[in-house]
């Protein structure tokens, strides 16, 4: 799966979990600041991503997800 | 009366954390009596106790997006054998089960309905009712009420994380799991008390220190992290609560090579005593229940809620290298039962899966022994010997170790 496809999945989950319009999301978007996501929403998004991609993301990785790009980088290494 | 009319939400949130764990947590207390169990009398005893404790006459109803409690109008039937049953699927909707084999009575329950401290009053009552019928013991058996649910809003006002953003800064301890193995370690209680007195600490602090020293070679660092739970009934002013009333704490201790109990006992004891302070308990319990309520409020499928819940627990200072639950007296931690009941009880075991650690210790005190029931998710053969060595090095007498076998069903 390439970056564009992973991005599309993330955008869909953001829209579903936090009602964020796809137009608002770029790779540089900062999860908590730019997208105004709460920690609970981030965990929900991660849980959704795990289910979507059929993987388990270790808890120690969670704090490294600052931007959308961080998420894509991580997922690319696991499912790319 | 229709089912709708008997719907109850009271007591639901007190146990809701157990909906959000990946597996149902089933607990077992087993009491060995002086003589083979008479099943007809045991059934009568359970019926009598259940009549006096309507709290346990409930079932959990799960609908698409709703969970509630309702009165269970089906009779409860004890069953033969030692097999742990799935609750409520194999127990007629009841959230507990009673079975027997030989002289042993097995009490199992789904952690949603009660914690160990809470359920003990009910289980002890069953034993009293049984002894009245089997031996003419003459124990007084008045109704067993539960305290009303505590005020959740008032509790959550103590949650310091309520308005926080960002993920916790804790470094999660990875929980390793393989083939779970159960074993029992029996200690001479007086020798542990003496070791504790030598260090000027509580016996349970000495026990925590000794287990940390024993476990250290099995973790690849000097610092050993453990978790323990404290009962919060008095702090919440609900001494007669059956439901879960617990604040759990984590602490780390440097137990590397060359460290002796005297080097670490004071720090452990200071931390333990601090966690028993009412405000510390309120704050910690509010953090735990605050997280439960936030997960509960999520509009998401149960499986997503379960995963979010477990991530939050891992980030929020749990899990640890080992978990310990010190039950104390298995017939009643507050000793609010007739002392003569002890004469009818020969032995006790407790089996609760270690949900947030690689190894769990459940410790009870009976007839001058400390009975440590150990569940090791990694099935390490050298663990019992390491614990024995750590105990004996500090003068604590080990009365015996027993390899019990693999996990109970549903506790793997």
CATH number of the CATH domain containing B360: 3.30.559.30
Question: Based on the domain organization, do B189 and B130 belong to the same domain?
Answer: no
Average pLDDT over residues B382-397: 95
Claim to verify: residue B127 and residue B207 sit in the same structural domain: no
Last residue of a domain, one of B84, B110, B135: B135
What is the overall mean pLDDT for chain B? 92
Per the DSSP assignment, residues forming a β-bridge with B105 are B31, B100
Give the per-residue pLDDT at B248: 93
pLDDT class of B356 with cuts at 50, 70, 90: confident
Sequence-distant (6+) residues with CB within 8 A of B197 are: none
Shortest distance between the Cα of B166 and any Cα of chain A, in A, equals 5
Q: Percent of chain B scored above 70 by pLDDT?
A: 95
Q: Are residues B98 and B221 in the same domain?
A: no
CB contact under 8 A, B315 and A47: no
- Same-domain status, B260 and B377: yes
Q: With cut-offs at 50, 70 and 90, classify the pLDDT of residue B177.
A: confident
> Given the structure tokens 């034993």, which residue do they identify?
B127
CATH of the domain at B32: 3.30.559.10
* Chain A CA closest to residue B163: A38
Whether residue B93 sits in one domain with residue B182: no
Domain contains B141: no
Does residue B123 share a domain with residue B244?
A: no
Whether pLDDT at B5 is above 70: no
Please determine, for residue B1, whether its predicted confidence score (pLDDT) is greater than 50: no
Residue B412 lies in a domain: no
Same domain assignment for residues B214 and B324 = yes
CATH number, domain containing residue A25: 1.10.1200.10
The answer to whether A46 contacts chain B (CB < 8 Å) is yes
B362, B286: one domain: yes
Average pLDDT for B112-132: 97
User: With bands split at pLDDT 50, 70 and 90, how would you rate the model's confidence at B4?
Assistant: very low
Each residue's pLDDT tens digit, B269-316? 999 999 999 999 999 999 999 988 989 888 888 899 999 998 888 877
Last-in-domain residue among B135, B166, B193: B135
Chain B touched by A27 (CB under 8 Å): no
B401 and B266 assigned to the same domain = yes
Report how many domains make up chain A: 1
- Interatomic CA distance for residues B354 and B16, integer angstroms: 18
Could you tell me if residue B160 is inside a domain?
no
Q: Report yes or no on B140 lying in a domain.
A: no
Q: Which of B108, B135, B162 lies at the terminal end of a domain, its last residue?
A: B135
> Which residues in chain A have their CB less than 8 angstroms from residue B172's CB?
59-60
Which chain A residues have a beta carbon less than 8 Å from that of B167? 39, 42-43, 62-63
Confidence of residue B410 (pLDDT cuts 50, 70, 90): confident
| High-pLDDT (> 90) share of chain B, % | 75
Domain carrying residue A14 = 3-79
Residue-range definition of the domain harbouring residue B382:
176-406
Mutate which of B297, B307, B312, B356 to disrupt the A interface (most A C-beta within 10 Å)?
A: B307
What 3-state class would DSSP assign to B33? strand
Three-state secondary structure of B93-138: CCCEEEEEECCEEEEEEECCCCCHHHHHHHHHHHHHHHHHHHHCCC
Mean pLDDT of B225-248: 95
Least confident of B174-178, B252-256, B383-387: B174-178
Residue B295 lies in a domain: yes
Q: Are residues B44 and B191 in the same domain?
A: no
B398-409: average pLDDT: 93
Q: Is the pLDDT of residue B319 over 80?
A: no
Q: Is the pLDDT of residue B2 over 60?
A: no
In a domain, B161, yes or no: no
The count of structural domains within chain B is: 2
Same domain as B94, residue B10: yes
Peptide bond into B119 cis (omega under 30): no
């Amino acid at each position: 799966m390439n970056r564009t496809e992973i991005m599309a999945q993330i955008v869909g989950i953001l829209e579903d979990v936090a009602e964020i319009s796809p137009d608002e999301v770029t790779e540089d978007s900062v999860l908590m600041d730019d997208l105004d996501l709460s920690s609970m929403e981030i965990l929900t998004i991660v849980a959704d991503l795990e289910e979507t991609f059929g993987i388990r993301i270790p808890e120690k990785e969670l704090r490294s997800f600052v931007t959308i790009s961080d998420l894509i980088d991580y997922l690319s290494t696991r499912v790319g | 009366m229709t089912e709708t009319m008997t719907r109850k939400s009271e007591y639901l949130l007190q146990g809701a954390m157990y909906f959000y764990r990946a597996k149902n947590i089933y607990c077992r207390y087993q009491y060995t009596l002086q003589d083979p169990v008479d099943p007809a009398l045991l059934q009568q005893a359970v019926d009598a106790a259940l009549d006096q404790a309507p709290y346990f006459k409930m079932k959990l109803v799960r609908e698409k997006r709703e969970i509630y409690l309702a009165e269970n109008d089906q009779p409860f039937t004890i069953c033969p054998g030692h097999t742990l049953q799935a609750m409520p699927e194999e127990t007629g909707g009841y959230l507990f089960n009673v079975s027997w084999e030989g002289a042993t009575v097995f009490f199992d329950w789904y952690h949603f309905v009660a914690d160990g401290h809470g359920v003990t009053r009910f289980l002890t009552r069953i034993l009293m009712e049984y002894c009245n019928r089997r031996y003419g013991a003459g124990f007084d058996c008045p109704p067993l009420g539960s305290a009303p649910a505590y005020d959740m809003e008032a509790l959550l006002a103590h949650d310091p994380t309520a308005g926080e953003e960002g993920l916790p800064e804790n470094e999660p301890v990875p929980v390793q799991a393989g083939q779970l193995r159960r074993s029992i370690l029996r200690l001479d209680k007086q020798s542990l008390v003496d070791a504790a007195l030598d260090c000027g600490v509580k016996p349970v602090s000495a026990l925590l220190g000794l287990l940390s020293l024993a476990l250290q070679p099995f973790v690849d660092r000097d610092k050993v992290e453990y978790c323990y739970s404290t009962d919060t009934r008095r702090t919440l002013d609900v001494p007669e609560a059956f439901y879960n009333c617990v604040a759990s704490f984590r602490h780390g201790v440097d137990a590397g090579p060359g460290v002796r109990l005297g080097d670490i006992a004071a720090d452990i004891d200071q931390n333990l005593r601090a966690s028993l302070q009412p405000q510390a308990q309120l704050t910690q319990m509010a953090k735990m229940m605050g997280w439960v309520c936030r997960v509960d409020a999520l509009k998401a499928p149960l499986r997503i809620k379960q995963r979010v819940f477990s991530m939050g627990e891992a980030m929020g200072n749990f899990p640890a290298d080992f978990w310990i639950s010190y039950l104390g007296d298995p017939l009643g931690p507050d000793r609010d039962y007739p002392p003569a009941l002890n004469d009818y009880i020969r032995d006790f075991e407790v089996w609760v899966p270690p949900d947030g650690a690689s190894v769990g210790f459940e410790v009870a005190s009976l007839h001058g022994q400390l009975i440590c029931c150990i569940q090791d998710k990694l099935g390490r053969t050298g663990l019992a010997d390491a614990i024995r060595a750590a105990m004996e090095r500090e003068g604590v007498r080990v009365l015996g170790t027993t390899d019990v076998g693999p996990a109970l069903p549903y506790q793997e």
